[in-house]
Amino acid sequence: MKYRLLLIIIVALFAVLPAQAQEANLLDACVTDYDATVDYFPEKVTKEHATGFTVEYFANYKVVTVNTPWQDAEAPLQYVLVQCGTPAPEGFGDALVIDVPVPTIVAMSTSFLPHLTQQGLLDRLIAIDTALYTSNDEVLARVAADAISEIGGGGSGQEVNVEALIDLEPALVMTQRFSSADTTYPVLQEAGLPVVINADFLDSSPLGLAEWGKFISLFFNTEALAQEQFAGVSERYAALKAAAADATSQPTVFAGTPFDGTWYMPGGGSYLGQLLADANAAYLWADDPATGSLFLDFETVFDRAVDAEFWVNVNPFWGTLADAEAEDARYANFAAFQNATVYSNNARVNANGGSDYFESGYANPDIILADLVKIFHPDLLPDHTLYFYAQVPPAQ
């Protein structure tokens, strides 16, 4: 009786012992000898800026929640990521269960590609929507070598080739959905594909959007790499912001150009609005907290911005200011036009119009900020060469 009682006590003690930790996440292997006391994810991500997703770690699985998967979504989406070779948990209803690390991925947005590159995962990329708009040389080379397929749906009028996608048997299809009117996501779901929504574009802060690299890492167990990569971006961004804050001037700025009669002016709380604030520029719409665009007419913009010192993120197809004036002669009345202080973020655009600003720029907002600081406060960064931005030259 005494020994039986001792055995019960020993079993009870083991039952409450904390999970044992392995040294690192498994990047290329599944568990072959499952132990319920082992923490299979010793390398975890922590979030600082991104608001669009959360992750909760358990010993052998992660619960990932995308809070607002698209702009008019009525509920969050949840994914259960289970270390392969270990049992899946119960009680998560209709949540998609995915074994990690995933061996293959289809990436339906160029904004995913920099993170896959930085985390050394391009060998797992088996398809993209289209190569037309990417600036990633390694991806383009792999497409040319037929190592990466194109399956359509890339904004070029193509529908997704669902049959080709099914034939690829991807372990993960990562996509975006901008509203409930977008039909690609439900089509992929109905085909039984393991499709996950990445809503990086809804995080309006520069560092928040960049931090979605950590979201991608959750599916590959590459959290340590994502943490390291983002830490470098964050540190450089903070240093640039601090340097700009000490500038002796704060030039006035406005942004954008009209489209079909409407001037889509970024709100003060938008991605660009926050970058301009961090570059210590006096953005003329900084007082509006909108995280999206304001819908203005030309006259409203002209009244406020006629004397602004800088004009940024203009029509990327303007080769010179003569092109701007040919589009609308009234542009020539802006002081920034007359002083040739007009800048486009199209320094890195491919032949099909794909902008690297919206690709590697989203993963590296520190470089975008460096460009803006160079434009507004050139003395602070004498050795920096504009990377994403270019001055629109006067008429030749």
Report the C-alpha gap between 269 and 246 in whole angstroms. Answer: 22
pLDDT digits (tens, 9 = 90+) for 263-299: 999 999 999 999 999 999 999 999 999 999 999 999 9
pLDDT band at 208 (very low <50, low <70, confident <90, very high): very high
In this model, does residue 396 exceed pLDDT 80? no
Mean pLDDT taken over the chain:
93
Report the C-alpha gap between 85 and 221 in whole angstroms. Answer: 14
Mean pLDDT computed over 71-89:
96
* CA proximity to 213, closest of 78, 67, 112: 112
Q: What are phi and psi of 161, to 5 degrees?
A: -85, 85
- Give all domains of the chain, ordered by start, each with its CATH number: 2-219 (3.40.50.1980), 246-391 (3.40.50.1980)
CA end-to-end span of the chain: 99
Mean pLDDT computed over 243-261:
96
pTM over 0.85: yes
pLDDT at 352: 85
Q: Spell out where 14-76 has E strands.
A: 20-21, 38-39, 53-57, 61-66
In this model, does residue 17 exceed pLDDT 80? no
The position carrying tokens 């304001």 is: 294
Contact indicator for 186, 33 with CB cutoff of 8 Å: no
The position carrying tokens 């039984």 is: 192
pLDDT at 66: 98
Q: What are phi and psi of 29, to 5 degrees?
A: -140, 160
From the centroid of its chain, how far is CA 370? Answer: 18
pLDDT digits (tens, 9 = 90+) for 139-183: 999 999 999 999 987 654 458 999 999 999 999 999 999 999 998
Report the C-alpha gap between 31 and 85 in whole angstroms. Answer: 4
127 beta partners: 106, 149
